[in-house]
Amino acid sequence: TSYGTALCMEWSVDGNSLFVGTRSGRVVRISGFNEWYSDMDNTNLTTASIYFGASAISGINLHPTDEENLLISMGGYGSGTHVVVHERATSAPSFSAADVRVIQGDLPDFPVYDVEYNVNNTAQVLLGTEFGVWATDDANSANPSWTQEAVGMGNVPVLDVRQQRLPY
């Protein structure tokens, strides 16, 4: 597409919207899947570019209880910003910097490959990075403090972070 090569995707809980992170640094929301039954219905789909960053989008994760909040991670070195929250992910008509909150905090400038809200404590965010798993317990802060969680394991790239969300 004109938005670039897709690198990661995340569905909304109701299945109506698909968020796509691209190599060109965009997050695109495609909505209307609940009204799409065949190729003839593709006019029901709407597309909006809701974020544009300086690096490739490497991971996205919707807040488990508030789908307006979309965590976005970016790879690459030197951009200075690798973790943001889009605070109007399902309702924004297009990209606006006012909808985005940077939560880089004291995280060093290295690639972040994936992001995940803790489903049991949404103030906690886990990152898969070039140098292991990092976490904060205060993602709602204006300047969160990040800690490396893989003590004793060394600096091992973590490309994917997932959490069980189904009940036991």
pLDDT in tens, the chain (168 residues): 578 899 999 999 999 999 999 999 999 999 999 887 777 767 788 999 999 998 999 999 999 999 999 999 999 888 889 999 999 999 999 999 999 999 999 999 999 999 999 999 999 999 999 999 999 999 999 899 999 997 777 788 899 998 887 777
- Cα dist from 74 to 33, 51, 110, 120, whole Å: 27, 12, 9, 24
Paired with 49 in beta bridges are 28
Tokens of 81: 């910003």
Parallel, antiparallel, or unpaired for β 57-62 and 70-74? antiparallel
Distance separating the N- and C-terminal Cα atoms of the chain: 40
What pLDDT is attached to residue 36? Answer: 79
